């Protein structure tokens, strides 16, 4: 059973269909691995053993009665920011202590309809605000490759769980790189769909114009399978667009002949870790060997991406987090003399330092006298960044870039330096600002034996194309097969 947990969703689904294992077997194996490994990693914030086994028993019963759904009985982990009926959804924050979701997020409902089951909820930076999963009120998550290092963030728990074999696959969210960066740090595949491809209904919002739900998986084929289920229009989310959802797995296979891949010169600059650049350059050479044409391109407004992102994201966070006031659900601090005093005491006790920092920044840039100077200007720069991508995609099928300037860094090494952590989003935040899709795939290791990720960026709703490129590269290497010691 131990080796089975590291196999692809497709392999496991085939074994289930042939009756060579059961969903109960899978869940019991996962629970055993979580028990034996998660004490060192803290990838999960909660695991409901009885509920997980109950779901597995119902899946096995359905299969025995003739239910032939491909993904029936496949277990998946869920980032603690998505609502799942009957489960807590704390966003790793004290302010949501005691909150239990009364409904399923649309992505969860679609996975449930496809037969998948939910094992547990994964750790994250509080309200998805961070790049290391150190900003969690339930404790830090550690990288399975080196427990002295961060797993990335904010979906660090999901990435660590997949890399450690504590999850067959997991859902994360990506606002400025929060799926792709932890995927790169932990050596797994992480896909950020285009804005509007996947419904955000039931996702606790950080920045509504940037957030997207996506999978973290062992391989590209698994990411395609999960995206196939969760993609598509949703009447409950007006920002989820009614565009054709292609057969993502049908696009996989073959080499890269006839594909034109751009290398943005602004993404290969001084400051990138030498081991990271070497691994990414090696991946680029491999893509060229597979038949791709490699060309240099320019995205001239990249230098403004981080400042633009942190103005827009914090402004939206300031508005979105105003709903957490201690009145209807979650924490309520005692001793308030009146509602205003109660709000202040509750938020002071309920929000962590990083969340407070971003709320203050967002409130400042939206305040009278600064709104035009900061927020309006940032939206104009966002348009210029999107136009940069539009121009590049007129001559390229996709872009190849690093995911982050470094590999995983040591716990605590930048937690007291927010600016350094923010600058780590330089290669990922642009895709969120432009609303386009991107995927991270393993492409090597540093001299310290830490994973490195290659980012493949595509135009709006071009997930099938970037998955095809990622799959061709992945299948020509062995990086995705390498697992941390357990």
Q: What is the pLDDT of residues 48-68, one digit of tens each?
A: 999 999 999 999 999 999 999
- Domains (range + CATH), the chain: 4-262+394-481 (3.90.1300.10)
Mean pLDDT throughout 140-168? 98
Give the mean model confidence (pLDDT) for residues 214-226. 98
pLDDT band at 1 (very low <50, low <70, confident <90, very high): low
Query: Catalytic residues, which ones?
Result: 79, 154, 178
SS3 of residue 332 by DSSP: coil
Q: How confident is the model at residue 87 (pLDDT cuts 50, 70, 90)?
A: very high
Instruction: Tell me the average pLDDT across 269-297.
Output: 96
Q: What share of the chain is helix, strand, coil (3-state, %, to 5)?
A: 45, 15, 40
CA atoms within a 13 Å half-sphere pointing along the CA-CB vector of 463: 32
Cβ neighbours of residue 20 closer than 8 Å, sequence gap 6 or more? none
- pLDDT tens for each residue of 351-409: 999 999 999 999 999 998 899 999 999 999 999 999 999 999 999 999 999 999 999 99
Sole residue written with tokens 């007006």 = 238
* C-alpha pair distances (Å), 315 with each of 9, 140, 206, 322, 429: 39, 26, 10, 11, 16
**Which residue did the predictor score with more confidence, 274 or 269?**
274
pTM score > 0.85 for this model? Answer: yes
Mean pLDDT of the chain: 96
What is the mean predicted confidence (pLDDT) over 310-327?
Answer: 96
Its sign, for the CA torsion 177, 179, 182, 186, is negative
Predicted local confidence at residue 2, as pLDDT: 63
**pLDDT exceeds 90 at position 420:** no
Task: For residue 343, give both structure tokens.
Answer: 């709000």
Average pLDDT over residues 206-216: 98
Q: Could you tell me which residues come within 8 angstroms of residue 57 by beta carbon, excluding any fewer than 6 positions away?
A: 23, 24
Lowest mean pLDDT among 1-5, 110-114, 262-266, 434-438: 1-5
With a cut of 80, say whether residue 482 has pLDDT above it.
yes
Phi, psi of 325 (to 5 degrees): -130, 0
Residue 422 confidence class, pLDDT cut points 50, 70, 90: confident
């Amino acid at each position: 059973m131990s080796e089975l947990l590291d196999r692809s969703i497709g392999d496991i689904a085939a074994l289930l269909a042939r009756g060579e294992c059961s969903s109960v077997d899978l869940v019991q194996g996962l629970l055993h691995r979580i028990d034996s490994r998660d004490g060192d990693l803290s990838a999960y914030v909660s695991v409901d053993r009885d509920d997980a086994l109950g779901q597995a028993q119902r899946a096995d019963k359905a299969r025995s009665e003739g239910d032939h759904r491909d993904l029936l009985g496949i277990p998946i982990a869920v980032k603690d920011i998505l609502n799942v009926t009957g489960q807590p959804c704390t966003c790793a924050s004290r302010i949501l202590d005691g909150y239990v979701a009364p409904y399923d997020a649309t992505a969860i409902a679609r996975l449930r309809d496809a037969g998948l089951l939910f094992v547990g909820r994964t750790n994250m930076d509080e309200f998805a605000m961070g790049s290391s999963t150190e900003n969690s009120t339930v404790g830090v998550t550690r990288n399975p490759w080196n427990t002295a290092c961060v797993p990335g963030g904010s979906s660090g728990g999901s990435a660590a769980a997949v890399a450690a074999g504590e999850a067959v696959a997991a859902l994360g969210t990506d606002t400025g790189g929060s799926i792709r960066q932890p995927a790169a740090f932990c050596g797994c595949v992480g896909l950020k769909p285009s804005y509007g491809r996947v419904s955000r209904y039931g996702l606790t919002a950080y920045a509504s114009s940037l957030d997207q739900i996506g999978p973290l998986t062992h391989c590209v084929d698994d990411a395609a399978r999960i995206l196939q289920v969760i993609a598509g229009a949703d009447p409950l989310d007006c920002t989820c667009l009614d565009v054709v959802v292609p057969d993502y797995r049908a696009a996989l296979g073959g080499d890269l002949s006839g594909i034109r891949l751009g290398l943005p010169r602004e993404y290969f600059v001084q400051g990138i870790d030498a081991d990271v650049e070497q691994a990414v350059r090696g991946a680029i050479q491999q893509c060229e060997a597979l038949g791709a044409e490699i060309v240099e391109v320019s995205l001239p407004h990249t230098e403004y991406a981080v400042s633009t992102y942190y103005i827009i994201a914090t402004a939206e966070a300031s508005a979105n987090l105003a709903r957490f006031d201690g009145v209807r659900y979650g924490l309520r601090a005692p001793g308030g003399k009146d509602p205003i005093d109660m709000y202040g005491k509750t938020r002071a006790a309920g929000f962590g330092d990083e969340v407070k920092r971003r709320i203050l920044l967002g409130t400042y840039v939206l305040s009278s006298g600064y709104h035009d100077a900061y927020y309006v200007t940032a939206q104009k720069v966002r348009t210029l960044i999107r136009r940069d991508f539009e121009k590049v995609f007129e001559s390229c099928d996709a872009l190849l870039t690093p995911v982050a300037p470094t590999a995983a860094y040591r716990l605590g090494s930048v937690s007291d330096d927010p600016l350094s952590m923010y600058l780590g989003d330089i290669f990922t935040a642009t895709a969120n600002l432009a609303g386009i899709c991107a995927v991270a795939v393993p492409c090597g290791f540093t001299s310290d034996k830490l994973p490195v990720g290659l980012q493949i960026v595509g135009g709006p709703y071009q997930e099938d194309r970037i998955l095809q490129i990622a799959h061709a590269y992945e299948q020509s290497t062995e990086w995705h097969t390498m697992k941390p010691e357990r």
